Amino acid sequence: MTVVRNPVLPGCYPDPSICRVGDDFYLVTSTFEYLPGLPVFRSKDLAHWEQIGHVVDRAGQLDYSGIASSGGLYAPTLRHHDGVFWLVCTLVDQQDESRGGNFLMTATDPAGPWSDPVWLDVDGIDPSIFFDDDGRVWVHGTRLARDPEWFHQTEVWLRELDPQTKALTGPEHILWTGAVRGAVWAEGPHLYKVDGAYYLLAAEGGTEIHHAISVARAESVTGPYVGNKGNPILTHRHLGRGVDVVGVGHADLVQDADGAWWAVLLAMRPYGGYHYNLGRETFLVPVTWEDGWPVFAPGQGRVPSQVEAPTRGDAQPGIAQGHESGVICPHDPRWTALRHLPTELATPRGDGWDLPLRPDTLADTGAPAFLGVRQQHMDVDVRVTFHADLAVGEDVGLAVRQSEQDHVRVFVTRDAPADAPARRVVAVHRQGGVETVLGEARLLDDQGPVTLTVSARGQDYRLLVGAPGEEPVTVAVADGRTLDSVATGGFLGLWLGVYATSNGRPTSTTAHVERFEYLPAH
Residues 166 and 301 in one domain: yes
Burial class (CB in 10 A: 0-12, 13-18, 19+), 306: exposed
Quote the pLDDT of residue 95: 80
Per-residue CA distances from 267 to 19, 96, 226, 236, 237 (Å): 20, 29, 26, 9, 11
pLDDT in tens, the chain (522 residues): 788 899 999 999 999 999 999 999 999 999 999 999 999 999 999 999 999 999 999 999 999 999 999 999 999 999 999 999 999 999 999 888 778 899 999 999 999 999 999 999 999 999 999 999 999 999 999 999 998 999 999 999 999 999 999 999 999 999 999 888 888 888 999 999 999 999 999 999 988 999 999 999 999 999 999 999 999 999 999 999 999 999 999 999 999 999 999 999 999 999 999 999 999 999 999 999 999 999 999 999 999 999 998 776 566 777 888 877 899 999 999 999 999 999 999 999 999 999 999 999 999 999 999 999 999 999 999 999 999 999 999 999 999 999 999 999 999 999 876 555 578 999 999 999 999 999 999 887 778 899 999 999 999 999 999 987 788 999 999 999 999 999 999 999 999 999 999 999 999 999 999 999 999 997
Of 302, 321, 340, the last residue of a domain is: 321
Query: What does the alpha-carbon distance between residue 296 and residue 213 come to, in Å, rounded to a whole number?
Result: 9
Of 321, 347, 377, the last residue of a domain is: 321
- 321 — phi, psi (to 5°)? -85, 5
Just list the catalytic residues.
Answer: 15, 187
The whole-model pTM stands at 0.96
Residues 302 and 342 in one domain: no
Query: What does the alpha-carbon distance between residue 301 and residue 123 come to, in Å, rounded to a whole number?
Result: 35
Quote the pLDDT of residue 421: 58
Residues 286 and 365 in one domain: no
Residues 297 and 331 in one domain: no
CA angle 421–426–428, rounded 5-degree value: 165
Query: What does the alpha-carbon distance between residue 160 and residue 497 come to, in Å, rounded to a whole number?
Result: 43
Residues 132 and 72 in one domain: yes
Residues 423 and 492 in one domain: yes
Query: What does the alpha-carbon distance between residue 113 and residue 131 come to, in Å, rounded to a whole number?
Result: 22
Q: Which DSSP helix (H) or strand (E) runs through 409?
A: strand 407-414
Which CATH number does the domain housing residue 506 bear? 2.60.120.200
Residues 15 and 58 in one domain: yes
Query: What does the alpha-carbon distance between residue 439 and residue 463 come to, in Å, rounded to a whole number?
Result: 9
Residue span of the structural domain in which 342 resides: 326-520
Of 273, 291, 321, the last residue of a domain is: 321
- Give all strands of the β-sheet with 246-255 in edge-to-edge order: 246-255, 261-268, 281-290, 293-296
DSSP-assigned beta bridge partners for residue 399: 409, 497
Residues 227 and 345 in one domain: no
Cis peptide bond upstream of 39, omega within 30? no
Residues 388 and 247 in one domain: no
Q: Are 281 and 245 in contact (CB under 8 A)?
A: no
477 alpha carbon, distance to own chain's centre: 26
Work out how many domains the chain is built from and give that number.
Answer: 2
Quote the pLDDT of residue 84: 98
Query: What does the alpha-carbon distance between residue 154 and residue 178 come to, in Å, rounded to a whole number?
Result: 7
Quote the pLDDT of residue 201: 98
Residues 218 and 114 in one domain: yes
CA atoms lying within 13 Å on the CB side of residue 401: 29
DSSP-assigned beta bridge partners for residue 385: 451, 515
Residues 261 and 356 in one domain: no
